[in-house]
Every structure is written in structure tokens, then in C-alpha cells.
Amino acid sequence: MNRPIRRVAIAVGVLMVALLLNLNFVQVVKSDAYRNNQNNKRVILNEYANPRGSIIVQGTPIAESVPTKDELKYLRKYPNGPTYADLTGWYSLVYDKNGLEEAEDGLLSGRDSRLLGSRITDLLTGRTPKGGSISLTLNKAAQQAAFKGLGGRRGAVVALDPRTGALLAAASSPSYDPAVLSSHNLDSIQAAYKKLSRDTDQPLLPRAFQASYPPGSVMKVIVAAAALRAGRKPTTVIPAPTVYDLPDGGTMRNFNGESCGNGKTTTLIAALTISCNTAFGHLGVDVGQPAVEDEANLFGMDGQDFAVPLTVSGSTMGQIGNGSQLAQSSIGQFNVQMTPLQAAMIAAAVENDGTLMQPYVVQQELAPDLSVLKTTETHVLNQVLPSDLDKELQQMMESVVKNGTGTKAQIEGETVGGKTGTADNSDAQGRPLPPHAWFTGYAADPEHPIAVAVVLENAGVRGDESAGGEAAAPLARDVMKAYLDDTSGR
Amino acid sequence: MTQTTGEIRVPTRRSAELMLLVFAIGIVFCAEAIVEATRDGRVNSHLLTDSVVPLAAGVIAHLVIRRVAPYADPLLLPIVVLLNGLGLVMIHRLDLGLKQQSDDGTGPRFTGAAAPTQIVWTALGLLLFLLIIWLIRDHRVLSRYAYTLALAGMFFLILPSVLPARFSEVNGARIWIRVAGFSIQPGEFAKILLTIFAAAYLVTKRDVLSLAGRRFLGIDLPRGRDFAPLLVVWLICIGVLVRGHDLGSSLMFFGLFIVLLYVATERVSWVIVGVLLFAGGAYLAYQLFDNVQTRVTVWLHVFDYPDGIGLQVSQSLFGLGTGGLFGTGLGGGHPEIVPLPATDFIISSFGEELGLFGLVALLLVYVLFIARGFAVALAVRDTFGKLLATGLSFSIGLQLFVVVAGVTRLLPETGLTTPFLSYGGSSLLANYVLLALLLRISDAARRPPAPGKHVAAEPAHVAVPA
């Protein structure tokens, strides 16, 4: 009778082997598919089981997790959501993460390896494990002024501390409330996302960092820097024809066919002050493509994306094929593309005696107990001009605000420099659109300097170059003033 | 406690049993500590109850075994204590999860913890175990009461089907007796009683049954009149299936009977006939019964019904998949999402939190138990003991296979409990009875013959006084 018993035992063994093989299939081969199946809420439950760290601006959270009564233990809240949306991004059940929520996810979620110690302590002491927090470099007053000033118009404002590269403000408009994408209600999240992503004004686009525009006359600052480096002085007389016959065909005129100075020549400083197109087109060609491109590279326009840690699109002069294109590029048209942050970096570098600092937005990374894990160290990116030459460039930009196109940026008792821009652009079909209004500038306050760039999409009137000075400069001034008032306690 | 018989000293291995018992309790203790640390962030009083109860049960059982079954297999008891203890830990852990779910308003209302009830059942199981191993000093006594036990078994089996649904129906299956707040699944006991009967019956009839009848397609078919018992069992199983909607038990009974028939007669033809009959019955059931069709549909297209009929199995698979190789750690997953996580789906709860490695280890513990059971069947000298040990071991193996295959979608899910692990009194009690019987037979298998007394190599099935 032992033989059949052995056979039965073997049969049971075969059944067990079948179970083990099938378990390998379920738990290894299909593991990821099952884990990420849309009907499997385990991963999300875990993600929401512990409070996520906060994103803090001057002691006040702009993103924080608050306990809830429902199944997902913590809800992400965004006090002042729309004001800071381009920085915080969202934290969604359905649409993943975005902005700093994504860039700093390791720390905020508590997965960062530096938090391992505190996770173990939490386990032993019974505290709820919590993510780390980040404190930002932003200035509330500047950010508020920037967002309010934009007032829902399409555009962006970026403000930097020129000496450190710290972001003081970064507002994008129109904005959205990240809370609607971060709620616990799938249907409302999906409805909100559908509406936002279909909006032609692109509220989900963090314009301050990721929208690129032709910079128009803002580009002239870089060409002026290249000229100073090439030996020109602010007082150097340069050609400024009313009509500039471009070297490889085509002509360039000033707005409304106006002439600069005497219609033949002008000084470099005067050309910048009144933003003379033909003078700078000619100057770019005279200085030469390599010199202009090198200077643009030094200011950061190398076409490479970078992180602050939010992703910033690369700004670039584009491919320049001949002298005519170089002339166009020298006044910020043709293929030149610039982000608002890049425009702010230009003013910041000039203000900081030619030293361009690496922009950053995270001041400190904090452990759950708010002890400091890491303080961001400032980092010199480039010396865009030797400081003696940079002083001359400052003089020129300050002339723009004192008695040129940028007078609306003046602030009582402050040295303000800047450059306006009114950039032609067209839609996808090549039809011309109203020009973008630009201003980039700085207030050289000895204690609290600030550099600001403003872009307002299609805010001008075609053929009128005053948009930059009329629309963008006052907003830049308001942001600078708000910051100066705030820091000086006025 | 070593007895000498002439020159041969047979070790009793009781000390090994005690060591293994301590080892098993150590594992249970750690598991419960991990659950509490993960869920509550600190260790609490459950650690004591959930590990002391199995420890006490194990030690008491051990002491009694020392006295009344000194030569019993030393692995069986520690394995059962380990499984029962881990089951308790998981049931307690699921209590915490289900309560949480109820508080969050995302699950059914939490009506009370299951772990304390399971502890009571464990104590009752121990009592029943002690009673049986104390009273039945020789397993062969049982064959004397074969027909009485069979009647009792049939009664248990049929009772829920004839009772009004409100006394017997839970989740669509009429396999319960619900009296005064207690739910008993009498089928679990019927399984053991009928195994005893089948073993005893086959010992007397094996010679007749192994006579060849006609030869067909190279297979020696049994004689027509010998089909009768097989047909009766088959009909009973189908009957139970019809009345009780209990796919799992029906499969269990039939498989068990076929295997015993095969072991008794050593004729493969019985297996073939049995498989054909089962296939026919299954096909018939599929045609006739909605709930069988539903289970097959879920098996084939589980992800087409994520919220309806496929909820349980798909969530079970999600849990297992989320657990992956290493699992989420005890208390770290969400096994409570699967409906009935502590009974039918406790295996996926373990798979989610212990991962593939943990679950395979758990299954290997079962394999060890089953292997020891078959070893007992091979070693014991009397035919009745061989058949009974085979039947009991095979029933654990088959039940485990049907359960695990069901929750991992290898086969349609049938709704059986996992022996020793699952929440549920009847299952636990019945399996403690099974343990007692297996230990009793193993003691007989290893016990050296009493000096001076001649013991037949294959004693008759008639009972020897205890």
C-alpha cells in the first residue's frame, strides 16, 4: 500500500509546485502591472498615509498637508494657491506631481535618504512619520505685488537678488489653484484638469520658468555688453541710420520709421537709452557674430535647460546664418528665445558688477523637526563683463530709466537701471500679433538690491514700441518698490 | 522519556518538539511585535495575548503528548502552533485595518474584533485536541465506529442544506449553522468523520474493489456493482453542491474519496473514473448553477468586473502584486481592502505583507506538515492507520491547493478556509481534531512493540482495546 501513498504524496507535491510557480507569476512577473492597476488604490493610500512636508515662504506655508477624516489621511492645501502655483505645482491623485512638489518630492515625501534616521526614530517612538520641508527664498511682498500686478493678464514676473541669485518673486499669469488638482475627489480633479489644460491661455504653464519669448530690445543689453568688451565706450559714436540696409539683404527700420539722433550716427549710450534698432542691428554686425554669441552664452543663453530646482527652459539666440539675421537677432528678433527668468538674470548680472549668480529658489531643506538639513550655497555662474566695463553698462541702463524709454520704472531715492523691450511675434500660422511688452531692470539699493523682469504677452499695439516702457516698466517698479518697502520696513 | 526494547532504543524526540515549539512562538512573537510597531507605533498588550495563548496551548499540548503519545511526530505540533499563532497575528492586524476602514467610512462597519474570538476558538481547539488524544489511545478503535461516524458526518453535511436559509446561509453559501450568535460550518467536521469512515470502509472492501471487471481501452475497469459506493459519494457531493452552493467542500470530499479509493485498491482506473465523474459533475454544475458560472467568469475575466463580482479576486491579486518579492511588511499594506481578508483570503493578506518570499516560506511550512503526514502513513503498520493518515494529510494538501489556487487565480475561487490560519471556529476545531488523529497515528508508527508481546505486521482493522 506504500506505493500508492508515495504517488499521492508526489501528486500533492506537484500541486504545491504549481502554486509556487503561479505565485511567482502573480508576485513577480505581474507585480508592476497589478501594483499600478487603476483599480488598485494601495500605492495611493500609502502615499497619502503620512503628512507630506511643507513648502514655506518667510515662515508661512504655501503648501502643507492637513489631516482629513477620509481614507486618504492627508490633504494637500495651498494657502494663496494661485499666487504661488507656478512654484508649488500640484500634488494629484490622477495627474502625478508638478513644480516643487515634483522637484523636491524625495524630501517632501520623507523618502530622502537623509531622513532615514528620523524614520527609524519615528518607528521606535511611535510618531507619525513625516516628510521634510523646504523654505524658499521668495519675498512675500514682492510675490504679491508681482501676481497682483499681472492681474490675470498673460505674462510673468521674475525677481532675483542680484548678489546671491535667490529668487525673490516668480509669478505667472493667468494662474490656477493647485488645490483643485490636489483634492481627494477624482471626478472634480479630472474635470478641473480638463478645463485648465484646454484653456488657450495656458494657466498650467509656469511662464516664469518655461515660457520662451522673443526678447526684443531687452537683447540690446547683451549686444551693448559685447560692444563694451570689444572696446566701445558709452560715448562712442556708432552708425544709426534711419534705414539700415542689412548686409545680406533686407532693411531694418526703427518703429514708425523714426530716426535716432541726427539720422546718421548716435552714441552707444543714447542708442540704448532710446532703444535705437538700426544702431544695435548695425552694432551687432560690427562686433561680429562670435562676440555677440559668446556674450549671450556668458549671460546664460546657452540653450540648455537648467534647474532652480524647477526646470527652466534654455534661452538661446538661435541659429544665425548670415549678417542680416545677426542684425535681427541683435535687436532680439528672428530666432532669439528668452524666458522671463533669463531676462531677470541679465539685469541681475549687470547690477552685481558683472557677476552672474546661479538662480535658486530653495533657501533651506528642513528635516521633519525643522532642523536644517542643507542651506543652499550661492554659486557664481559667470563673470559676464569685467566690473569696470560693467559699471559703464550700469550707467547706460540707468540712463534708460532716467531719461529714456524706461522712465516709468523710476523709484524715488533709488538708483534704477533697466531696459524695455517690445517684441514682435506671430501666431502659429505666421500672422503678426500685438507685440510682447518687456522690461528688465534693477534697483541698486545698497542694502537690498533687486533685479526684476516683466513680460506681458501681446500687451502692445502693433507698430508702437512704447509697450515695454508703458505696460511692463510700471509693474517692474511696483515689484521693486514692494520689496524695498518690505525690507527697509517702510 | 526513552523506552528501551531489548537493544533498540527509540528516541521519543519530545525535547526536539519543545525546542521547535519555542522557536515557533519566537516567530509569532516577532510577527506580532512588528504589526504593533507598524500600526500603533508601539508595542501593546496584544503582544502578550497573541503570543502567550499559542505558547500556552503548545506547551500544554506538548506536556500531554509526552504522557499519552510519547513517540508522536515532533514536527506536527510546532507547525500547527506556528500557523495558528501567525493566523492570530494576521487576524489581529486585519482587525486594526478593518477598524480603520470603518472609521474612514470606506469599508463596512466594524462590528468587533475577530482576534479575541479566534483566541477563544484556539482554546476550545486545544481542549478538543486534548480530549481526543487523551481518550483515543489507539486510532484503530475508530474503525469500530465507522458507520456511526459516517452517519454523524452525513448529518453534519446535510443539516445546513435542510435548515431554513436564515439559519444556514452566509454570503450565498448554505453551509453554516447559526445558533445564538455562533456560526459553525459543520462541513469541516464532516470532512474528518467521513475520512475516518472511508478509511475503515475501504480496509474491509479493498479486496473486492480491486477485482478487475472489464478491460476497456487498456484500462481495467472495476466491476459494475463496485461502483455503488463511489456513486453514492458522488451523488452526496453533488447534492451538497446543489443545496449549499458550496463548490469547495464538494471538490474536497470527492478528491479525498478518490484518493483513498486509489490508495486502498492501488488501481489507477478508479482515479480515471473518478476524474471523469468529477468533470461531468462540474460541467453539469456549471450549466445548472449561477454561482458556479459566476466563479468561472470571474476566474477567466477577473479585471472586467473590478467593482462587482471580480472585486475579491482582483483585489487579492493587486495585494499580492503590490507585495511583490518582499512584501510591504506586516502592518504596512492594505490587505483589508480585499473582502473577507481573514477567512477565505488570509493567504493574500500574508502575500501582500510578507511578499513572495514570506508566502513561499509559509507554504513550505504546510508542505512540511503534509510531508510528515505522508511519512506517518508510510511508517504506520496497520492499513486503517495508513489510509486515515493519507486521507488527513491529503485533505490538508488539497484544501491548501484549492484555497491558494483560488486566491491567486490559478483556479476559480471556491471559498474554503486555510487550515489553522484562517479565522473561523469550525475550521480551527476540526483541524485540531485532525492534528490529534495524525499525532496518535504517528505515535503508533514509531512506538516500539511492547516487550514480549507479538504484534502482527499488519493487524486487522478490528479495534484493539485502548
Q: Is the preceding omega at residue A446 within 30 degrees of 0, hence cis? A: no
Q: Residue B173: what pLDDT?
A: 64
**Torsion angle in degrees (nearest 10) through CA of A323, A324, A326, A329:** 180
Residue A49 scores a pLDDT above 80: no
pLDDT above 70 covers a percentage of chain A that reads 97
Q: Per-residue DSSP letters for B281-317?
A: HHHHHHHH-HHHHHHHHHHHSGGG-TTTTTHHHHHHH
Residue B161 scores a pLDDT above 80: no
- Which band of pLDDT confidence, cut at 50, 70 and 90, is reported for residue B408? very high
Scanning B347-406 for CB atoms below 8 A from A yields 351-352, 355-356, 359-360, 363, 366-367, 370-371, 374, 377-378, 383, 386-387, 390, 393-394, 397-398, 400-401, 404-405
Q: Residue B461: what pLDDT?
A: 47
Contact: A35, B322; criterion CB under 8 Å: yes
- Which band of pLDDT confidence, cut at 50, 70 and 90, is reported for residue A184? confident
Contact: A27, B355; criterion CB under 8 Å: yes
Distance (Å, whole) CA A136 – CA B253: 69
Average pLDDT score over chain A: 89
Burial class (CB in 10 A: 0-12, 13-18, 19+), A374: middle
Residue A181 scores a pLDDT above 80: yes
Strand A133-136 vs strand A55-57: parallel, antiparallel, or unpaired?
Answer: parallel
Cβ–Cβ contact A69 with B under 8 A: yes
Average pLDDT over residues A282-304: 92
CA A14 centroid distance within chain = 63
Which of the residue ranges A204-208, B156-160, B179-183 has the most confident prediction, judged by mean pLDDT?
A204-208
- Which band of pLDDT confidence, cut at 50, 70 and 90, is reported for residue A430? confident
Nearest to B143 by CA among B373, B385, B374, B318: B385
Cβ–Cβ contact A2 with B under 8 A: yes
Please give the single-letter amino acid code of residue B12: T
CA A213 centroid distance within chain = 13
Q: Which of A24, A27, A39 sits opposite B323 (nearest CB)?
A: A27
SS3 A426: strand
Q: In angstroms, what separates the C-alpha of A52 from chain B's closest C-alpha?
A: 18
Dihedral (CA of A208, A211, A217, A220) sign? positive
Q: Residue B215: what pLDDT?
A: 66
Nearest to B390 by CA among A18, A7, A17: A7
Please identify which residue in the block is written with the cell numbers 508638478.
A98
Is A217 among the catalytic positions?
yes
Q: Residue B457: what pLDDT?
A: 45
Q: Residue B465: what pLDDT?
A: 43
Average pLDDT over residues B388-410: 94
Q: Residue B268: what pLDDT?
A: 85
- Which band of pLDDT confidence, cut at 50, 70 and 90, is reported for residue B68? very high
pLDDT per residue over A249-289, tens digit each? 888 888 777 778 777 889 999 999 988 889 999 999 999 99
Cβ–Cβ contact B290 with A under 8 A: no
Average pLDDT over residues A142-146: 94
Average pLDDT over residues A456-481: 85
Contact: A1, B320; criterion CB under 8 Å: no
Residue A124 scores a pLDDT above 70: no
Q: Residue B459: what pLDDT?
A: 46
| Rounded-to-5 percentages of helix, strand, coil across chain B | 70, 5, 25
Distance (Å, whole) CA A390 – CA A145: 29
Q: In angstroms, what separates the C-alpha of B122 from chain A's closest C-alpha?
A: 27
Find the range with the poorest average confidence among A79-83, B360-364, B431-435.
Answer: A79-83
Average pLDDT over residues B382-410: 94
Which of the residue ranges A103-112, A289-298, B245-254 has the most confident prediction, judged by mean pLDDT?
A289-298
Average pLDDT over residues B102-130: 86
Q: In angstroms, what separates the C-alpha of B384 from chain A's closest C-alpha?
A: 11
Cβ–Cβ contact A40 with B under 8 A: yes
Q: Which of B318, B332, B355 sits opposite A34 (nearest CB)?
A: B318
Find the range with the poorest average confidence among A75-89, A115-129, A221-235.
Answer: A115-129
State the CB neighbour count (10 A cutoff) for residue B148. Answer: 11
SS3 B382: coil
Q: Residue B238: what pLDDT?
A: 65
ipTM comes to: 0.90
Nearest to A476 by CA among A347, A386, A369, A385: A347
Q: Residue A123: what pLDDT?
A: 61
State the CB neighbour count (10 A cutoff) for residue B3. Answer: 15
Cβ–Cβ contact A27 with B under 8 A: yes
Nearest to A153 by CA among A478, A439, A433, A437: A437
Alpha helices (H) in A200-322, listed in sequence order: 207-210, 220-229, 268-273, 277-287, 289-298
pLDDT per residue over B190-238, tens digit each? 889 989 988 988 888 777 777 666 666 666 666 666 667 667 766 776 6
Q: Residue A400: what pLDDT?
A: 92
Contact B58, B20 (CB under 8 A): no
Q: Residue B95: what pLDDT?
A: 92
Average pLDDT score over chain B: 84
Residue B2 scores a pLDDT above 60: no
Average pLDDT over residues A311-326: 91
Comparing B270 with A380, the larger pLDDT belongs to A380
Which chain A residue lies closest to B394 (C-alpha atoms)? A12
Contact A315, A245 (CB under 8 A): no
Contact B121, B430 (CB under 8 A): no
Q: How does B295-313 read in b/e, with b if 16+ C-beta sit within 10 Å? A: beebbeebeeebeebbbbb
Rounded to the nearest 10 degrees, the angle between the axes of helix A277-287 and helix A289-298 is 100
